[in-house]
Amino acid sequence: MSGKINIVLVTLLVGCGLSLVNAQYQARHLFIELERSQSQARQLDIEWSQLQLDQSTLGKHARIEEIARRDLGMTALTAARTQYLTPEASK
C-alpha cells in the first residue's frame, strides 16, 4: 500500500516539477518579448521626435518663401503689379 502512495507522490512531484519548468520558460519568453516591445517603443519615440523637429523646420515661413523665390521664381507683390477687377454694371 505504501508503495502505491510513493508512486503517486513521485508522479505528482515530477508533474509539479515539469509544470514549474514550463512556467519559468513561459515567463522568460514573455519577459524577452516585453523587452523587445519596450525597445521598439523607445525607438519609435525617438523617430517621432525627429519627425516633429523636421516638420517644424520644413514648415517655417522663411524657408517656404526662400524656396518659392529660388525654385519657382516667385516675387512679392507690389502695388505697381496689382490689378483690381471690378464688376461691370449690368444694363
pLDDT in tens, 28-73: 999 999 999 999 999 999 999 999 998 888 778 888 888 888 888 8
pLDDT in tens, 1-35: 788 999 999 999 999 999 999 999 999 999 999 99
Give the H/E segment covering residue 62. helix 61-72
Q: In whole angstroms, how far apart are CA 26 and each of 1, 20, 23, 31, 60?
A: 38, 10, 5, 9, 51
Contact 63, 57 (CB under 8 A): yes
Q: Give the global pTM.
A: 0.55
